Amino acid sequence: MPAHLSVVDPAPETRSEVTADLFERIAATTDDDERRRLVDEVVVANLGVADAIARRYRRRGTSTDDLEQVARLALVKAARSFSPERGHDFLSYAVPTIRGEVRRWFRDHGWMVRPPRRVQEAQLRMTPYAAEFALEHGRDPQPADYVRDLDLDEGTVTEALAVNACYTPDSLDRPLDTEDGPRATLGDRLVADDRDLEASEARHLLEPLLARLAPRDRLVLRLRFAEGLTQREVGERIGVTQMQVSRIIARLMGQLRDELGVAQAA
């Protein structure tokens, strides 16, 4: 990306208007340097879209930076090949292009243990679907939801849900810092099922993270997960819509997961 361009992620309405204007200017110019500069501006205006597509596949054992690079390169390819005269909006052309490139890269590079191709492809469709479903419904999808909405058979769904560990399976010989001593391994712990201990560890890790949240964010989490209110009820309590509550919870879950990963690595 040229250094003179500043990366600013505009609002969706502004992005659409800016992109359409840039392509009109591209069509009108006969100067190759000006054309390249305008295409660069199209890419910059739509970087947020590429990064958002890449983030749907993060925390699956692959580098977010790698995924974003693949998505951005696909965006560049789409910007260079798009023809407005075909009558399509740029994003209606670019989004499938970017998603396809990310899925292909993920399929080829994201598996440590390779399941059958049909299961890989089903899992790649199910991952972004699950995120969108959770935002809309406030819960994770059930197997029947995948079968109904993605037109997958139940057996494939079951296999795809079971292969998440195929991305980055953990070694059973990985040493653990446990009361069993420094030579204890992950395999040594598989026979145990101490839910109270796991809950205690989770509280210990989450408490300082929750304390740093804004008061309203802590209230939303307490109402939703401690008091068991529905998203609609939470929205009524804090004066926002159910969809806004869903977005707040999704944002907080992603933030806490990221911070928890840093805390565990420290």
Distance from C-alpha of 162 to C-alpha of 168, rounded to nearest angstrom = 13
N-terminal to C-terminal alpha carbon distance within the chain: 33
CA quadruple 89, 90, 91, 95: dihedral positive or negative? positive
pLDDT at residue number 185: 55
263/257 Cα distance (integer angstroms): 10
Residue 110, pLDDT score: 56
**Average confidence (pLDDT) per 10 residues, the chain, 266 residues:** 44 76 90 91 90 75 76 90 79 85 71 64 79 78 90 85 56 52 52 49 68 87 85 90 89 80 49
pLDDT at 1 (0 to 100): 43
Name the β-bridge partners of 181.
178
Is residue 234 within 8 A of residue 126, CB to CB? The reply is: no
What's the rounded Cα separation, in Å, for the pair 127 and 124?
Answer: 5
The total of other beta-carbon atoms located within 10 Å of residue 194's CB is 10
Domains (range + CATH), the chain: 1-110 (1.20.120.1810), 111-169 (1.10.10), 213-265 (1.10.10.10)
> Amino acid identity of 198?
E
The pLDDT assigned to 200 comes to 53
pLDDT of residue 83: 84
* Per-residue confidence (pLDDT) for residue 259, from 0 to 100: 73
pLDDT for residue 192: 45
Q: What is the dihedral of CA 181, 186, 187, 190, to 10 degrees?
A: 100
Q: Which residues, in sequence order, are bridge partners of residue 178?
A: 181
Tell me what pLDDT residue 7 has.
45
Secondary structure class of 178 (helix, strand, coil): strand
